[in-house]
Structure 1
Amino acid sequence: MNGQYAIKGYLLQSLVALLDSFETDWETVCVEPNDESEKVDILWTYKGGKKKVVQVKSSKNVISFSVAKKWADELSVKSPNADEYELTLVGYVDPKLRKLPNSTIDKVVVVNKELSIEDFEAVIIQKINSFFDKKGKNVISPKLGQMFVRALNAQILQESVIGKTIEHSEFENNLLESLRGIERYLERCSYSLLLPDTPPSNRDVNSVIMEHILKLIGWNSLNIDETVTYYDEKLGKEKQFKIDFWGDYECPLKDNLKDVIYINASVEAQYLPDYTTVIKNNLFCVNGIRKQLIEEKKINIDNSIEYCIQFLLSLKELEQNQAIARLNDAYKKNKMDKNIIYYAIDNKKADFLISSIITARKYRKDLAVKFLYPITDDNSQINKIGKRNTYMPPQYLNSSILPIIKEDRDKISVLLFCSDPYSKDRLRKVIWLLIRLTSGLANEYKIYFTDYDNSQYGNEVNETIRSYNNNDLIGKIFIENLNLCNSCELQTVPTNIISLKDEFFDETINNTKKLRIEPHLIDYLPYGDSLKPFLDSDAVKTEDLKVFLQNKGIYFKTANKTKIIQLMTSMLFSSLDIESLVDFVNIDNKTKESSSAQYNLVNENKQMDQLFANKTIDQDKLQDKLNADIVSLEQTKPKKDTDIYAIKIHLEQKNPNKQALVSIARSTATVNVKKDANKIEFIKEYNSRAARVVAERVVKQLSEQLIRSNEIEDKCIEVRFSEFSNKERTNFLLSFTNIDSSDIFKSFNAKSFKYMFDESANLPDEYADKKGKECTTLLKGNNLDSIKELQNDTLKEIILSEELAISYRYNIRGVSGSYFTIMNFSGALANKPLCDGVFTIKAVVYIDNKSKDKVSSRNSLEAELKKEFNRLKKEKLKKFNKI
């Protein structure tokens, strides 16, 4: 749970110095002054123009005399016009530094603060309360004390004094307002709601927050701070594995299995710019602890589902309800275990979870909160309300749907919380899901949306409920707004839950009054077994499911589709989730366009793993001014004796022209880098304009690095429109009708041809009327290769051929169909003033009806046809001396 020590130490010590200053007579102060040396952290001025410069240094390691002297010398040399110099050292110092005459090195006063971060926190809360008391303000409550200090971040100094020279009174007022602003926010934020009025004085506030979150979801009696010591032979000393919590519970969603849960938490003043190191260290620790637990037979992995859960929370007000961007890159496959499911929980996911449970606690507040477990083949109960208990399954952690039950013997209330924005269609689907989950046996149903406004949607809701033509439904279903936890309307979580009633509803009471609704297809929200056929189909690729789950903060190392489906059939998905999942599946069904670029190798003996050993892709540069968001970037780097480097990028693009339900358009870009004799080739595939831009940027980044390291020549070899004469270009396109060398393609049909007359050429009289018209002609039909424009050599000289579409008939081991290709020079005719464009190919596979039952894998068939066409393309390019 430790943050960045040096940054936090500097921040706290700077604030201590600033607060100490209220006892001294200074005139102006500036933190990180712009017109001073970078060695100066704080600049003070006093009466008469006297100036004092201060530098603050923090370290976990012992600060040596030589290092301290270097800092002191630099401070005095870089600021020769100062009157006083102070070097503040935060941490343990060399004994020699403690014995300095007059505590000085030359003219620099050395101040040592041997305080830990925790000690600083105690000091600073004392000083802030003293400051508040002096200003006639109430002191900070013990409940908020530790959390207040953790919430201090660079923004406080930024708003107060950084880069600004201000006077004493102005500074006090600015700092007072900033500190009070933090206090006002913390009084109503989600994490303070979880704290008892008087937190244990010997406990870290982050641990207290986490324990309350875990109690909220029914994860009790967890082991805390599990530690394993091991000897690191490389370092020659002992090191430790440590995780914050772990435990195991009977799995309510899968019979005869246990949930084994490993938990680490990071609660910071604000999100870190990069969580790669935090997650890497925590995965390393989980692997070490897990190994010992298995050896000690405390867990049996053969009858368990294992979860590694990482909380990444921020106390910053502007980051409440906000997700962490680009977290996917932090989960490295080589650090993950194939048997573990990984969850990352940021503020956005935590706020929805905490808000839902706190809201549920407030309703019928004398009853325990129970989580409803869907009835599936894995935990079947016929004709009953699903199992429920106070333990929340890990599968609900990052869910968009959370079902909760409040019940006593006489009445059962089902509360369903949904993070989707409200819409009529989503409401119908959620109503269907609620009735299905409970077999229609509940007394009342309450559905919560985060943006629901009864004054705006109340009539629409009533009409929707009446549309089922079921009077039993009227008066049982209620729609309400879910206030997220930073709302001041939420109350503190009850700390004493032992006294809450934990009874079970007598299901025989309502057995004759079961609700029945017959859904239309659009009302259907699949879960459990009803979702399995879709997930298990050939149309759904393992990679699609992994990327979809990554968007929900769930990560797998394994590519085992069965294991992924086992998780997904025990989860509940909202309407937006299902729409998003279908979108991911449909991405690869979009027709992809491809193009390629080649470079000559300087040393053809180098293997792919050597060429790309130190080459990286900068995702920030890929994203810069891109009209889409990069969702994930996956790389399969070349290993020894492999000749391919694969990059795949998923993108999302908002479409303001469509309704909210379909406002996200998804696409993919892939770049495959191959070595071929003395060249490397970048093969780009994309199915949107944004995807094409990203693919081009990937090639640009990698090729520039290879050129700088003298691995390839500084010349890109591309097949471009401008590199052909008119006749040669037409003949090149026409050459794709020659399939004599192919054993797979049996016949062809030229279906379309696009061209315009070259106005710079001498046109025959019969075509003279085309001059000055910029008239583009697109012919569609059959066997267009025989038209005179493609057969007459004179006409070939005067036309600009841009596109030819050919449908090939194929037969592979008795499987037949059509392979439809469009060969195009990237819309070269529309490029002005000079027509030019890269040669690209689009291809679609069609399977004859009589052959469909013979195809075991469509993906394999498509890959084989693509490989054959690429061989044919290479043959034509060689014939025209382009490669």
Structure 2
Amino acid sequence: MKHEYKDANKILPYGELLRGLANQGYLVKSDLKKFLRNRGIFFNSSDKEKLVPCISTLILSPVEFDELREYQNTKEDNFKKNTSRLKWNSDSTIFDAVKNLSFTGVIPNEGYNFYLVKEPNINLDQKNKNKIRIEYELERNDFNKSFYESTNRFKGEIEIEKISDDEIRITKSYTSSESNFVGDSLIRIAEKHFKDNNLVSKNEILRKILFSDFSNEDRIVFFYRLSSNTNSIYFTFKDIVNMEFRPDNNEKLPIEIDWMKNKSELKIRGKSIHNTFFIKEQKYHKNLQFWEMESSYSFKFESYEGNCNVVFSFKDYLNKNDRAEFEINISNFSLVNGSEFTSRDKLVIKNKLLRLFEDNKDIVYTNFLKYLADKNKAPSIDDY
């Protein structure tokens, strides 16, 4: 999240300085158009190329500058979520397990241009002592940038929940590479704390959903189960709108898709792309390494209604290959009567929806593990 300049109360930008502020990504077209409308200036176009020059010609009042600053302070990058699991070896609740958890050394003292704004905060649920959240916020300073770009703040959260007598689930939510780094650091600290206190066995390994956990065929089945086969009272699948993949160099390509040879990255965007022959027909799946699928949905949740896209992805596959971790996030997002909601309201709603998709993903993944176990089960004498 862009964080306001520490001396913002002492300046009132105009001209090129105001143009640079209005042109930032966190000020979207609807914000700028609404800002101008309040000034009595109306545009048929929503292009920032036309809105920004107009704003840069204005002399703002302090109240109007505060309005732009409020737009800035309510914009947040997309939250992304991934989960991991640990075998639990204790009768202790999570509530009791984290009482003496120390956050020393979350970020090394040297070599990093970001820092925690305050010590991570543990939220204990008095009604459910087997579920806690660790929230954190960090700040990054870029001193070589202009005043409106120099400071960024990012939030993150770690949720730890005991889901059975012998297993805990850890869900990481982050918005940037920096908050992802801090989230991983907090998970390592919590894991070490649990092992040092004999709550988790010393030789237990944190289990993540990794690219290498799937064969090429099983991976695309998993993607399909997450997207088009998802059932929920809150959202309805519409279409698969994006897929990213490449040919598996370890497999000889059939003649029909030999044109993919030596391609390091392929993307397909559009409508009904799941009907493309090499995606629709299973005989090609063993030859293709899919790492991302984006699907569109309509949703009705609480009093809200709208549309969104959800990205299911091993997003770091091209860099980490088999060690890439699975995550989900919401990309495009719109509400019916969206102009009636503030940016902060939309952020809250969006994060609620992401939590619903994450919960559904966990169910799908659990069932998929059972499917894989049954598929790979060696036949017994009773099967004949």
SS at match of 2:323: coil
Instruction: Within 5 Å, give how 1:719-868 maps onto structure 2.
Output: 719-739=209-229, 741-771=231-261, 773-812=262-301, 815-831=304-320, 834-844=321-331, 846-850=333-337, 853=340, 857-858=345-346, 861-868=349-356
Structure 1 match to 2:170: 682
User: CA offsets, 1:81-108, max 9 Å, x none?
Assistant: xxxxxxxxxxxxxxxxxxxxxxxxxxxx
The 1:699/1:583 distance shift into structure 2, 3 A limit, reads: farther
Instruction: Within 5 Å, give how 1:171-210 maps onto structure 2.
Output: none
| 1:585 equivalenced with 2:74 (yes/no) | yes
| 1:613 equivalenced with 2:150 (yes/no) | no
SS at match of 1:750: strand
SS at match of 2:200: coil
The 1:849/1:816 distance shift into structure 2, 3 A limit, reads: closer
Q: What is the identity, as a one-letter code, of the residue corresponding to 1:609? A: F
**Is the 1:594–1:841 contact (alpha carbons within 8 Å) kept by the matching residues of 2?**
yes
User: CA offsets, 1:327-374, max 9 Å, x none?
Assistant: xxxxxxxxxxxxxxxxxxxxxxxxxxxxxxxxxxxxxxxxxxxxxxxx
Q: How far apart are the structure 1 equivalents of 2:258 and 2:230?
A: 38
Instruction: Within 5 Å, give how 1:337-376 maps onto structure 2.
Output: none
**Is the 1:825–1:837 contact (alpha carbons within 8 Å) kept by the matching residues of 2?**
yes
Structure 2 match to 1:630: 116
User: CA offsets, 1:756-812, max 9 Å, x none?
Assistant: 0000112223434544x2421011101222222332112111111010001111123
Q: What is the identity, as a one-letter code, of the residue corresponding to 2:63? A: P
Q: How far apart are the structure 2 equivalents of 1:620 and 1:847?
A: 36
SS at match of 1:610: helix
Instruction: Within 5 Å, give how 1:489-500 maps onto structure 2.
Output: none
User: CA offsets, 1:452-485, max 9 Å, x none?
Assistant: xxxxxxxxxxxxxxxxxxxxxxxxxxxxxxxxxx
Percentage identity across aligned positions?
A: 15
Report how far residue 646 of structure 1 moved: 1.9
**Is the 2:328–2:358 contact (alpha carbons within 8 Å) kept by the matching residues of 1?**
no
Figure out how many residues of one structure are paired with residues of the other and give that number.
324
> Higher relative CO (CA 8 A, sep ≥ 6), structure 1 or 2?
2
Q: How far apart are the structure 1 equivalents of 2:341 and 2:302?
A: 9
Q: How far apart are the structure 2 equivalents of 1:639 and 1:679?
A: 19
Structure 1 match to 2:187: 699
TM-score by length of 2: 0.73
Report how far residue 732 of structure 1 moved: 0.6
Q: How far apart are the structure 1 equivalents of 2:158 and 2:59?
A: 38
Report how far residue 624 of structure 1 moved: 4.8
Q: What is the identity, as a one-letter code, of the residue corresponding to 2:78? A: T
SS at match of 2:315: coil
Q: What is the identity, as a one-letter code, of the residue corresponding to 2:293? A: L
Instruction: Within 5 Å, give how 1:872-883 maps onto structure 2.
Output: 872-881=360-369
Q: How far apart are the structure 2 equivalents of 1:521 and 1:609?
A: 54
Structure 2 match to 1:222: none
The 1:853/1:639 distance shift into structure 2, 3 A limit, reads: closer
Report how far residue 850 of structure 1 moved: 3.9
Report how far residue 749 of structure 1 moved: 1.3
The 1:657/1:789 distance shift into structure 2, 3 A limit, reads: farther
Report how far residue 853 of structure 1 moved: 4.7
Report how far residue 615 of structure 1 moved: 1.3
Report how far residue 667 of structure 1 moved: 1.8
User: CA offsets, 1:179-198, max 9 Å, x none?
Assistant: xxxxxxxxxxxxxxxxxxxx
Q: How far apart are the structure 2 equivalents of 1:709 and 1:692?
A: 26
Structure 2 match to 1:475: none
**Is the 1:622–1:698 contact (alpha carbons within 8 Å) kept by the matching residues of 2?**
no
User: CA offsets, 1:557-577, max 9 Å, x none?
Assistant: xxxxxxxxxxxxxxxxxxxxx
Say which one has the larger Rg. 1
Q: How far apart are the structure 1 equivalents of 2:148 and 2:302?
A: 43
Report how far residue 735 of structure 1 moved: 1.1
SS at match of 2:63: coil
TM-score by length of 1: 0.34
Report how far residue 666 of structure 1 moved: 2.5
Instruction: Within 5 Å, give how 1:142-153 maps onto structure 2.
Output: none
Q: How far apart are the structure 2 equivalents of 1:764 and 1:848?
A: 44
Q: How far apart are the structure 2 equivalents of 1:806 and 1:633?
A: 37
Partner residue of 1:526 out of 63, 71, 74: 63
Structure 2 match to 1:22: none
Structure 1 match to 2:134: 647
User: CA offsets, 1:705-730, max 9 Å, x none?
Assistant: 11222212421111000110010011
The 1:596/1:858 distance shift into structure 2, 3 A limit, reads: same
Partner residue of 1:663 out of 118, 130, 150: 150
The 1:769/1:712 distance shift into structure 2, 3 A limit, reads: same
User: CA offsets, 1:585-620, max 9 Å, x none?
Assistant: 22xx311221111111012x3211111122111155
| 1:717 equivalenced with 2:254 (yes/no) | no
- Over aligned residue pairs, what C-alpha RMSD do you find? 3.4
Q: How far apart are the structure 2 equivalents of 1:592 and 1:816?
A: 20
SS at match of 2:190: helix
User: CA offsets, 1:383-402, max 9 Å, x none?
Assistant: xxxxxxxxxxxxxxxx9599
**Is the 1:752–1:804 contact (alpha carbons within 8 Å) kept by the matching residues of 2?**
yes
Report how far residue 870 of structure 1 moved: 2.1
**Is the 1:829–1:835 contact (alpha carbons within 8 Å) kept by the matching residues of 2?**
no
The 1:622/1:782 distance shift into structure 2, 3 A limit, reads: farther
**Is the 1:594–1:840 contact (alpha carbons within 8 Å) kept by the matching residues of 2?**
yes
SS at match of 1:632: coil
Instruction: Within 5 Å, give how 1:20-35 maps onto structure 2.
Output: none
Q: How far apart are the structure 2 equivalents of 1:611 and 1:799?
A: 44
The 1:646/1:845 distance shift into structure 2, 3 A limit, reads: farther
Q: How far apart are the structure 1 equivalents of 2:159 and 2:268?
A: 34
Structure 2 match to 1:82: none
Structure 2 match to 1:30: none
**Is the 1:599–1:679 contact (alpha carbons within 8 Å) kept by the matching residues of 2?**
yes
Instruction: Within 5 Å, give how 1:156-167 maps onto structure 2.
Output: none
Q: What is the identity, as a one-letter code, of the residue corresponding to 1:699? A: I
Q: What is the identity, as a one-letter code, of the residue corresponding to 1:781? A: G
Report how far residue 743 of structure 1 moved: 1.1
Q: How far apart are the structure 1 equivalents of 2:59 and 2:200?
A: 55
The 1:862/1:618 distance shift into structure 2, 3 A limit, reads: same
Q: What is the identity, as a one-letter code, of the residue corresponding to 1:824? A: S
Q: What is the identity, as a one-letter code, of the residue corresponding to 2:197? A: S
